[in-house]
Structure 1
């Protein structure tokens, strides 16, 4: 319903033409590859492939389509992943249509657009975990023991426990389960 309403509102703009709508991320990627739009609007939470998955694939393909994420999620980890994927816009779904139109025009002209409400949240919530700490927490989330993680990462079990301990401290968590929850909530394990 939101997709249809958004499409109808954007089609009312004189300089914006909606050329496709997708029900899921796989369909969106296929349509982007075949229709070659100047710009696409993706949601983070889409079935089959997320908007971030689609953005990462477009970047890997060096596709010319500029990507704007329209979301309800103000998680710093999602924003960081979006920036790594080359996303040019990160906006809230409840933005007024005139603000969305202005942001789309800016992105189309080579600029970037981030909802002001999100900008402060992202500024304040930078991921404190190192890449290795994220890897260890991801494996812990899968239920692996320190010994199993050590084998997968070519580390000693003691080193894995040290990384877990550092992650728990940095996140001010009570234990590894709490650390995993905090990291997931902030989008830092994606």
Structure 2
């Protein structure tokens, strides 16, 4: 199988590529240090799988997965992350990601996951799977939007202007979000939502 490794940390990218290259059935055909590079390499080299970090400059791993899905590109995506956030996982599943693993997983686990994905399966780190399925995002799309803008420091009035809503309606959405997240206030609600990856 032909694999591309996309990871912004050079040392990790090199080590991962070298370890995967030791496997007889895996050929690392390219390395990318950001999401834009990953897209370009995937389109020019046509790999079977791209092993990708979530947090990368220019485009995140999830942005890349969504772009590939839009373009109906056959390259399968396996996400490697240090972030065990439910929101990331849910967005990854919607983007058609085939694997979701923690960066500190043993290399054997990654290799086994790649083989499973290559043969048409899906692979999720066992310690992540249960947590993720249980932690559903309670926020509606509009509540998420309002909270995300509030996280950027905008007032209810400014958020209203951006979303064509009255300041009172914005405050209602914020109040709903605070209640659903069992938060003390707006700042607390933003912190809870960000920690769970629900504002991505």
- TM class by shorter chain equals over 0.9
1:153 aligns with 2:185: no
1:168 matched residue in structure 2: 178
Unaligned runs of 5+ in 2: 1-10
2:51 matched residue in structure 1: 41
1:19 aligns with 2:23: no
Q: How many residues in Structure 1 have an aligned counterpart in Structure 2?
A: 190
Q: Which moved more, 1:98-107 or 1:135-144?
A: 135-144
> Normalising by structure 2, what TM-score?
0.90
Instruction: Show CA shifts across 1:106-162 (max 9, x none).
Output: 111111110001112212221111111101101212222223322332333222211
SS of aligned partner of 1:21? strand
Unaligned runs of 5+ in 1: none
Counterparts of 1:1-190 in structure 2 under 5 Å?
Answer: 1-190=11-200
> Normalising by structure 1, what TM-score?
0.95
Q: Distance in 2 between matches of 1:187 and 1:161?
A: 22
Q: Distance in 1 between matches of 2:131 and 2:183?
A: 20
Q: Distance in 1 between matches of 2:31 and 2:162?
A: 41
Q: Distance in 2 between matches of 1:165 and 1:60?
A: 35
Instruction: Show CA shifts across 1:43-69 (max 9, x none).
Output: 011122111111111111111100000
Q: Distance in 1 between matches of 2:150 and 2:82?
A: 28
> RMSD in angstroms over aligned alpha carbons?
1.2
SS of aligned partner of 2:79? strand
